[in-house]
């Protein structure tokens, strides 16, 4: 049953992946080969380290806010954000003007609203898979606030950044940087990875493939620069990591239905002192300035 669900899910992404592969293959010819190799090797190394760190932290339920732990968990979003900023002024092999020109030449009439739905697909899978007998790491009463907090933090950071930066869109409009659709898609994919990634890497791959499809479609639909998409991916991953690091896993008790934790994943943590942290977000909007105050108590 699980294999059939994943197969159908991946088949639905087939056309999107083919388009993305075609774009990537042609972009390679736009850049110097040695520069591209260096960039790909560097980013691949960083993402591989981040993936290992996230998997280990996720399995151990480590909520530490030590700088070393935070750095390991957020190497991938840092690399994505750096790449996004680097491309704004024509840097790197993914020069945003060149990507726009390539899109205009090869997909001038592309139009689709698929990303409006697939940005939520990985999160929907988190709530659907328990029906197949696959158990996520957290019960429903903790999964739900985790996802809601992740979405709220992601959109808060995204829209405050949009208002402050006020970047022009590639064709018409403003407040382009970062991409909100992409940020939510990667927050959703990271949510799926946190809850089911320990069971099979195929689940995480399916989630992140969907998030990539959302980002590519935002570019093809003339809504965003490639820099917006890269930064949006960074925001989504980072915000979800922060939410999981600060969540106290007490929602079952607060709802009056018992405070038992999943024995498989929490037995080791129950013996340790509670080291979770509190995260407080306070939006600050006025005629003179826009921003957000974030307070972390640990």
Average pLDDT over residues 235-262: 71
Q: What are phi and psi of 114, to 5 degrees?
A: -60, -35
Of residues 264 and 177, more confidence is placed in 177
Instruction: Give the domain ranges of the chain.
Output: 2-297
Show the tokens assigned to 152: 């709220």
- Distance in angstroms (rounded) separating the CA atoms of residues 91 and 85: 9
Element (H, E) at 280: strand 278-285
pLDDT of residue 50: 45
Give the pLDDT band of residue 38 (cuts 50, 70, 90): very low
- Distance in angstroms (rounded) separating the CA atoms of residues 271 and 266: 9
What are the E-state strand segments in the chain? Answer: 278-285, 290-297
- Distance in angstroms (rounded) separating the CA atoms of residues 296 and 62: 16
Peptide bond connecting 178 to the previous residue in cis, omega within 30 degrees of 0: yes
Element (H, E) at 135: none
Residue with tokens 């388009």: 19
Residue with tokens 């080791």: 268
- Distance in angstroms (rounded) separating the CA atoms of residues 182 and 163: 17
Q: How far apart are the two ends of the chain, measured CA to CA in Å? A: 43
Q: Is the pLDDT at 81 greater than 60, yes or no?
A: yes
Per DSSP bridges, beta strands 290-297 and 278-285 are: antiparallel
Show the tokens assigned to 78: 């840092």
pLDDT of residue 259: 41
Average pLDDT over residues 37-58: 44
- Distance in angstroms (rounded) separating the CA atoms of residues 125 and 144: 13
Show the tokens assigned to 112: 């689709």
- Distance in angstroms (rounded) separating the CA atoms of residues 234 and 79: 8
- Reported as a single tens digit per residue, the pLDDT across 170-209 is 999 999 999 999 999 999 999 999 999 999 999 999 999 9
Residue with tokens 């903790």: 142
How many C-beta neighbours within 10 Å does residue 175 have? 18
* Nearest to 59, CA basis, from 260, 266, 251, 270: 266
Secondary structure (DSSP) of 85-129: HHHHTT-SSS-HHHHHHHHHHH-TT----THHHHTTHHHHHHHHG
**Is the separation of the CB atoms in 218 and 225 below 8 Å?**
no
Least reliable range by pLDDT among 49-63, 96-110, 125-139, 224-238: 49-63
Check: pTM over 0.75? Answer yes or no.
no
């Amino acid at each position: 049953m699980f294999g059939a669900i994943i197969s159908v899910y991946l088949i639905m992404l087939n056309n999107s992946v083919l388009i993305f592969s075609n774009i990537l293959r042609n972009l390679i010819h736009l850049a110097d080969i040695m520069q591209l190799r260096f960039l790909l090797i560097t980013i691949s190394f960083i993402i591989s380290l981040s993936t290992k760190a996230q998997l280990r932290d996720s399995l151990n339920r480590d909520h530490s806010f030590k700088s070393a732990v935070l750095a390991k968990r957020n190497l991938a979003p840092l690399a994505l954000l750096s790449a996004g900023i680097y491309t704004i002024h024509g840097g790197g092999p993914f020069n945003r003007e060149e990507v726009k020109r390539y899109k205009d030449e090869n997909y001038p009439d592309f139009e689709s609203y698929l990303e409006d739905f697939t940005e939520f697909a990985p999160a929907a899978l988190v709530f659907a898979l328990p029906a197949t007998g696959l158990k996520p790491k957290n019960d429903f009463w903790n999964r739900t606030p985790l996802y809601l907090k992740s979405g709220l933090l992601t959109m808060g950071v995204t829209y405050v950044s949009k208002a402050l930066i006020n970047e022009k869109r590639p064709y018409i409009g403003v407040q382009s940087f970062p991409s909100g659709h992409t940020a939510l898609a990667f927050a959703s994919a990271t949510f799926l990875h946190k809850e089911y990634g320990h069971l099979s890497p195929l689940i995480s791959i399916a989630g992140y493939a969907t998030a990539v499809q959302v980002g590519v479609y935002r570019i093809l639909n003339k809504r965003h620069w490639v820099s917006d998409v890269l930064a949006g991916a960074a925001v989504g991953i980072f915000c979800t990591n922060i939410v999981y690091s600060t969540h106290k896993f007490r929602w079952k008790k607060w709802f009056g239905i018992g405070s038992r934790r999943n024995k498989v994943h929490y037995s080791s943590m129950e013996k340790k002192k509670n080291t979770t942290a509190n995260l407080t977000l306070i939006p600050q909007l006025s005629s003179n300035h826009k921003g957000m105050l974030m307070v972390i108590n640990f």
